Amino acid sequence: MKVLVVEDVAALARTVVQGLTEEGFAVDLAANGEDALHLATELEYDVIVLDRMLPKLDGLEVLTRLRAQGKTTKVLLLTALGEVRDRVEGLDAGADDYLVKPFAFAELVARVRALGRREHGHAKNAVQVGALTLDLAARRATLLGTPLELTAREYGLLELLALRPGETLSRAAITEALYADDEDKDSNVIDVFVARLRRKLTAAGVDGARLIQTRRGEGYRLEPDEDTP
Amino acid sequence: MQVVLTVLLLGGIWLRLGSSFAGWSEEVVDAALHARFDALTAQLEDEHGRLELDDEDDDGGPFRITDGAGAVQLARGFTAYASLDETPGYRTATLPDGRAVRALTGTIQRRHHKTFVLTVARPTRTFTALSTRFLRGILVTLGVGVVLGALGSAILAALLVAPIRRLADEVAGLEVQALHHRISSPSRDPSLTQLTASFNGLLARLDEAFSRQRTFVARASHALKTPLATVLTQAEVALHRERDAAAYRRALEEIAASARESAAVVEGLLAASRADAAAEHLSPTAVPAAQLLDEAGRLFGPTAAQAGLTLELAASPGAVIHADPDRLREIIAALLDNAIRYTPAGGEVGLRVDTLDAGARVEVWDTGLGISESERGRVQERFFRGGAAEATGQPGTGLGLAVVTALAEAHHATLALEPRAGGGTRVVLEFPGELSPPGRGS
């Protein structure tokens, strides 16, 4: 899942990005309101973690403008302002969740994951797509009851496709979703990941090439119905 | 209480008027008797030893004329008064039937020095009854007047007080959360309009003070919570998984840095609150500039050298600054700290003290990043951090200059932030020459 962290305090931002990355999220960072608005408008994120007091453009203003543009990306406000009035103000401006500083990191991760899940219409961390079961919290996939041994990138790719079943994703879109903005990106690597993922799926008992289908000139998509036993 | 007073008052009036009326009615009767006596004296004619009344139809009231020895010469309507004796002069007597009468007896001389005794009488009842009725009328009028007056003044008071009460209710109903609310004048009365305006003025000032306070608390809590949140998150993320020794060391270093920043914020807030209280607790003395320079050199020389900066210290000979020495040190430390932080390596920072005609000028300057025109008005605000802070990533609380400003005000010193020719910033403080007595702030 792709997350945008907007935080102006460098040390905190660095740590949150590190922690979320270690949790398997692809994380981008914006240090001020203007950059945040730009990134959130131009790129697709599953969740935005937004500080309220920001240089250049206040966090609440960023949120209001995003919503005015029709962007429905899930937003978690992360702020030192914790009074009921502040929280109501934040939620009224269009925030989906609110976390007050200082916060427990585990709670931030759980809330970000829950928002990402809801973004794709799932109420629980266990997501069933055909024969495939994903545990979003543990970042593990099971096929027909057999756990799959996947690397972080492979799991990330599978989760990306499984959360959007039947939707074709281009290599560029997949690259963008799997990598943080500042990472080295090479969309050709996606083909390699897909090939490896298919091999592991086939080994677990389904036809990997039919579960993850190639759409020539378009990209890849996951077809759960084809594999329902 | 009012009832008792009213009753006492009316009772007093009753007694006073009662006695006055008694005297007055007696005088009235006596005057009438006297007039009657004179009229009769003039009308009586002596016809050969017999007295005759000039006017046969006389009806001026009862009278009796005797020859002084008891024999009645002439009488009219006196039957009822027959019992009256002939004591000369005015008197009050009681008739056998119980009625009170007033009588006047005197002698009249006629021809041949013949003397008669004339007695005129008149019942006092009429006058007493009249005066009593008059008195009662006055008292009733007074009583009704008192009652109506009380009612009227109550209504008038209610009319006058109602708008004030409305105003009071509105003021009493105001909550701290609703200080932006303004009271509407309850009437067009100019003094009430003025009172309302005064209340609204007070509300506006309170609102502003509260809003400043809220902003300060919000900023202070943000400034306190952010480094705490950082420390906590750094520790939790570090502990989230197994790491090698180098990674733990890095995490601990970051935690230490954030904790230091936390401590700096607390220190800054304490300094700010001390600065607020400074105006009341100043102990100004004459601080020799040489001593100040010496201290600054020892305190900031190493820091400046470490940052690759030259520290220049200068003072005109014998210069003294009239200030609280501890607060003055705090001002200079905050300014030099800022100067060193925002001056790139290879630059210069300096402290200079000059004697003025009255007082002294303290200047801290640097060849650093400077303060942009747009920020110059705001850098003295609490928690404001300028573009230079963002550009250099210098940790800080945004309280330093705010504290300096408050301390300067406490000393009645002027503070000016100016761009320095050739780049950098000059902060110029001018201290007044006289010692301002402690306990008196601006």
pLDDT one-digit tens code per residue, B298-339 = 989 998 999 899 999 999 888 899 888 888 998 999 899 888
In chain A, residues with a C-beta closer than 8 Å to the C-beta of B225 are: 80, 101-102
In terms of domains, do A205 and A157 share one?
yes
CA angle A11, B401, B214 (to 5 degrees): 75
Contact A101 B226 (CB under 8 A): yes
Contact A11 B237 (CB under 8 A): no
Name the pLDDT band for A229 (thresholds 50, 70, 90): very low
Q: Does B230 touch chain A (CB under 8 A)?
A: yes
Give the nearest partner residue to A11 out of B225, B257, B390, using CB atoms. Answer: B257
Question: What is the predicted pLDDT for the residue at B158?
Answer: 85
Question: What is the predicted pLDDT for the residue at B353?
Answer: 92
Question: Cα torsion at A62, A68, A71, A77 (round to 10°)?
Answer: 40
Give the nearest partner residue to A55 out of B227, B236, B390, using CB atoms. Answer: B390
Mutate to test the interface with B, among A5, A6, A8, A12 (most CBs of B within 10 A): A12
Q: Does B229 touch chain A (CB under 8 A)?
A: yes
Tell me how far apart the alpha carbons of residues B327 and B329 are, in angstroms, rounded to a whole number: 5
- CATH code where residue A162 lies: 1.10.10.10
Contact A19 B241 (CB under 8 A): no
Q: Does A104 touch chain B (CB under 8 A)?
A: yes
Question: What is the predicted pLDDT for the residue at A49?
Answer: 95
Which numeric CATH code is attached to B282-431?
Answer: 3.30.565.10
In terms of domains, do A162 and A115 share one?
no
Quick one: closest CA in A to B220, which residue?
Answer: A80
Paired residues of A143 in beta bridges:
A132, A146
pTM of the predicted model as reported, rounded to 2 decimal places: 0.58
Give the nearest partner residue to A19 out of B222, B233, B258, using CB atoms. Answer: B233
Contact A18 B232 (CB under 8 A): no
Question: What is the predicted pLDDT for the residue at B390?
Answer: 65
Paired residues of B350 in beta bridges:
B312, B365
Question: What is the predicted pLDDT for the residue at A98?
Answer: 92
Name the pLDDT band for A117 (thresholds 50, 70, 90): confident
Question: What is the predicted pLDDT for the residue at A76?
Answer: 95
In terms of domains, do A38 and A131 share one?
no
Q: Does B241 touch chain A (CB under 8 A)?
A: yes
Question: Closest by alpha carbon to B381, among B368, B400, B408?
Answer: B400
In terms of domains, do A10 and A111 share one?
yes
Task: Give the whole-number percent of chain A exceeding pLDDT 90.
Answer: 34
Count CB pairs under 8 A between chains A and B: 64
Question: Closest by alpha carbon to A225, among A213, A126, A147?
Answer: A213
In terms of domains, do A104 and A6 share one?
yes
In the predicted structure, residue A38 carries a pLDDT above the cut 90:
yes
- The list of chain B residues with pLDDT below 70 reads 49, 55-59, 126-127, 176-177, 279, 383, 388, 390-397, 434-442
In terms of domains, do A22 and A91 share one?
yes
Tell me how far apart the alpha carbons of residues B279 and B294 are, in angstroms, rounded to a whole number: 26
Question: What is the predicted pLDDT for the residue at B391?
Answer: 67
Question: What is the predicted pLDDT for the residue at B37?
Answer: 87
Asked if B203 contacts B182 with a C-beta cutoff of 8 angstroms, the reply is yes
Tell me how far apart the alpha carbons of residues A76 and A84 are, in angstroms, rounded to a whole number: 16
Which numeric CATH code is attached to B2-134?
Answer: 3.30.450
Q: Does A228 touch chain B (CB under 8 A)?
A: no
Mutate to test the interface with A, among B237, B253, B261 (most CBs of A within 10 A): B237
Tell me how far apart the alpha carbons of residues A139 and B400 are, in angstroms, rounded to a whole number: 48
Strands of chain A, DSSP E: 2-6, 26-30, 47-51, 74-79, 97-100, 126-129, 132-135, 140-143, 146-147, 212-215, 219-222
Cis-peptide into A229, omega within 30 deg: no
| CATH classification for the domain delimited by B174-278, as one of 1.10.287, 3.30.310, 2.40.10, 3.40.720 | 1.10.287
Contacts of B297 (CB under 8 A, 6+ apart): B311, B313
**Residue where a domain terminates, one of A85, A119, A153:** A119
User: Length of chain A in residues, anyone?
Assistant: 229
CA angle A152, A157, A158 (to 5 degrees): 100
Which residue range(s) make up the domain with A138? 126-227
Q: For A45-94, what is each residue's pLDDT tens digit?
A: 999 999 988 888 889 999 999 999 999 999 999 888 777 888 888 888 99
In terms of domains, do A159 and A199 share one?
yes
Q: Examine the predicted complex and report whether its ipTM is higher than 0.85.
A: no
Question: Closest by alpha carbon to B192, among B216, B217, B219, B161?
Answer: B161
In order of B23, B24, B102, B247, B303, the CA distances from B29 in angstroms are: 10, 9, 7, 129, 119
More confident residue, A131 or A227: A131
**Looking at residues A16-43, what average pLDDT do you find?**
92
In terms of domains, do A8 and A78 share one?
yes
- CATH code where residue A63 lies: 3.40.50.2300
Quick one: closest CA in A to B218, which residue?
Answer: A81
Quick one: closest CA in A to B384, which residue?
Answer: A55
Asked if A178 contacts A160 with a C-beta cutoff of 8 angstroms, the reply is yes
Q: Is A209 helix (H, G, I), strand (E, B) or coil?
A: helix
In terms of domains, do A100 and A141 share one?
no
What region, left, alpha or beta, does residue A134 occupy, with left being phi > 0 and alpha being psi -120 to 50 degrees?
Answer: beta
Question: What is the predicted pLDDT for the residue at B57?
Answer: 64
In terms of domains, do A68 and A131 share one?
no
Question: What is the predicted pLDDT for the residue at B263?
Answer: 87
Query: Based on the structure, what is the number of domains in chain A?
Result: 2
What region, left, alpha or beta, does residue B423 occupy, with left being phi > 0 and alpha being psi -120 to 50 degrees?
Answer: left
**Looking at residues A119-129, what average pLDDT do you find?**
84
Asked if B284 contacts B323 with a C-beta cutoff of 8 angstroms, the reply is yes
Tell me how far apart the alpha carbons of residues A59 and A218 are, in angstroms, rounded to a whole number: 36
Question: What is the predicted pLDDT for the residue at B395?
Answer: 66
Q: What are the structural domain ranges in chain B?
A: 2-134, 174-278, 282-431
In terms of domains, do A132 and A103 share one?
no
Mutate to test the interface with A, among B177, B230, B243, B383 (most CBs of A within 10 A): B230
In terms of domains, do A17 and A109 share one?
yes
